[in-house]
Structure 1
Amino acid sequence: MSIYVDNSKVAFKGREWCHMMADTLQELHYFAAKMGVDPRLFHRSASYPHYDITIQMRETMISHGAIIADRRTIIACGKKLKIELALECK
């Protein structure tokens, strides 16, 4: 299982946020649940399916095995997740 976090720092509601993705939706949701991420932070209708997580959460994710990924990896992963989500909705 590979969980990826990016280096984004998006300011919103007084916090800085980034994104979490995985190789599959199953892995993504499993890891998010295991780490206590609120399911409402999953964005299925964004450019690519992902969870928004705070910068502090990112540090916790990394300490539990998440990989800091470059933009190319995040985009490739996002494309796979988008296809998987589309197939899941059929």
Structure 2
Amino acid sequence: MTVLIDPPQWPGPRGLMWSHLVSDHSLDELHSFAGLLGVPGRAFDRDHYDVPETVHALAVSLGAQAVSSRELLHRLIAAGLRHRKRR
């Protein structure tokens, strides 16, 4: 059971860079961890939370594993938790 976070490299609101927060175990684990971080539910998007760069260090200090974006996606898919946008 692991919560993963990629580097804050995605431009987003308020001029901040953003990361993706996922679980390679379950969405319940992900939602619980996001709650510990104080991340609002509106930041959840199908299979991940978008979190600002200001949360990255806290997430790691609370046990999230910092990984590359490629590794995060690979592990999300391998866990069967990837939910793509419908066309």
**Contiguous gaps of at least 5 residues in structure 2:** none
Question: Offset of 1:8 from its aligned partner?
Answer: 4.0
- Which residue of structure 2 lines up, in the alignment, with residue 28 of structure 1? 30
RMSD: 1.5
SS in 2 for 1:37: coil
Deviation string 1:17-71 (CA, Å, 9 cap, x unpaired) is 1110112111101101122111000001xxxx11000111011100111111123
The alignment's TM-score, normalised by the length of structure 2, stands at 0.79
The one-letter code matched in structure 2 to 1:16 is: M
SS in 2 for 1:4: strand
Separation in 2, partners of 1:71, 1:55: 14
Q: Is the 8 A contact 1:21 1:77 kept in 2?
A: no
The alignment's TM-score, normalised by the length of structure 1, stands at 0.77
- After TM superposition, the structure 1 = structure 2 runs for residues 61-76 of structure 1, keeping only pairs within 5 Å, are 61-76=59-74
Aligned-residue sequence identity (percent) comes to 32
**Contiguous gaps of at least 5 residues in structure 1:** 84-90
State how many pairs are aligned. 79
Separation in 1, partners of 2:51, 2:37: 11
